[in-house]
């Protein structure tokens, strides 16, 4: 029995060793192989075209400084190429794989803007669901909620002071109902939120950005239970500022 286990252990060891040697040989061959054809797939949420195949090729070649057809994987590793593509702010995720022929398969998930910050006399910018700031494009415009704020000089900090604001924006974006209702969000100097809907009332006083779920539940009561019974132009202001209250005027 002991001899059988010993023989079995030796066979397993030899098998693992052979597999390891095969992987090393293949990897070494691939590292010296020239890069072949390039296959790029870009997944674009909401069909927005902020990055295209031409831009991806520019990133991969380091602005044309590297000729991919003449380079080997020893000179340009997959990790190096991935990092180049990820350097574009509109790239959310990038995965690059190579086959035995040396062909590159590039899969990209484009970043998805969820809101646009409007600023007087300064460039606008988008944000994605992580709070990353994205530049606007001259070619494409994302149909997202507009945000204005009285203190335009200071950029939002979604990791600390504006964390709850990002949560509110994401909740509106994820809900088809709220996304269809709320078109504009304004932040006052006191950091209070004003929501401007498309229909139903002139302004919604959301107040400070806390108790978000509770405030949205109260607002839903207004849309589902109060507004259908009244003239849509009856109320000019709805306030959610005070705990547990829904004030319609």
The pLDDT of residue 198 is 84
Residue at 198 is within a domain? yes
**218 and 189 within one domain:** yes
Q: What is the pLDDT of residue 12?
A: 64
**pLDDT band for position 34 (50/70/90)?**
confident
- The SS3 of residue 211 is coil
Residue after which a domain boundary falls, among 110, 142, 159: 110
The pLDDT-based confidence of 17 (bands split at 50, 70, 90) is low
Higher pLDDT, 47 or 109: 109
Q: Provide the domain count of the chain.
A: 2
User: Does residue 134 form part of some domain?
Assistant: yes
Question: Which among 55, 81, 110 is the end of a domain?
Answer: 110
CATH number of the domain bearing residue 166: 3.40.50
- Angle subtended at Cα 117 by Cα 112 and Cα 122, rounded to the nearest 5 degrees: 125
CA distance 9 to 11: 5
Q: What is the mean predicted confidence (pLDDT) over 137-158? A: 86
226 pLDDT above the threshold of 90: no
Domain that holds residue 61: 35-110
Read off the CATH number of the domain in which 81 is found: 3.10.20.310
Domain boundary among 84, 110, 136: 110
Which residues lie closer than 8 Å to 58 by C-beta, 6 or more apart? 64
Tell whether the torsion through CA atoms of 171, 175, 179 and 181 is positive or negative: negative
């Amino acid at each position: 029995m002991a001899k059988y286990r010993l023989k079995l252990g030796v066979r397993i060891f030899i098998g693992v060793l052979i597999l390891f040697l095969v992987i090393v040989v293949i990897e070494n061959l691939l590292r010296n192989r020239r890069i072949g054809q390039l296959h790029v797939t870009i997944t674009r949420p909401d069909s927005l075209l902020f990055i295209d195949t031409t831009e991806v090729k520019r990133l991969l070649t380091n602005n044309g400084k590297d000729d991919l057809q003449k380079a080997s994987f020893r000179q340009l590793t997959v990790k190096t190429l991935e990092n180049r593509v990820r350097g574009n702010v509109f790239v959310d995720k990038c995965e690059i794989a190579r086959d035995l022929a040396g062909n590159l398969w590039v899969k990209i998930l484009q970043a998805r803007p969820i809101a646009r910050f409007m600023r007087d006399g300064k460039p606008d910018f988008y944000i994605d669901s992580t709070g990353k700031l994205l530049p606007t494009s001259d070619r494409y415009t994302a149909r997202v909620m507009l945000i204005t704020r009285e203190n335009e000089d200071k950029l939002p900090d979604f990791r600390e002071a504006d964390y709850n604001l990002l949560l509110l924006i994401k909740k509106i974006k994820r809900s088809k109902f709220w996304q269809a209702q709320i078109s504009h969000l304004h932040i006052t100097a006191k950091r209070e939120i004003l929501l401007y809907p498309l229909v139903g009332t002139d302004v919604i006083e959301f107040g400070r950005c806390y108790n978000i779920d509770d405030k949205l539940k109260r607002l839903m009561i207004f849309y589902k239970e109060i507004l259908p019974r009244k003239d849509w132009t009856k109320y000019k202001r709805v306030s959610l500022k005070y705990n547990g209250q829904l004030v319609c005027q």
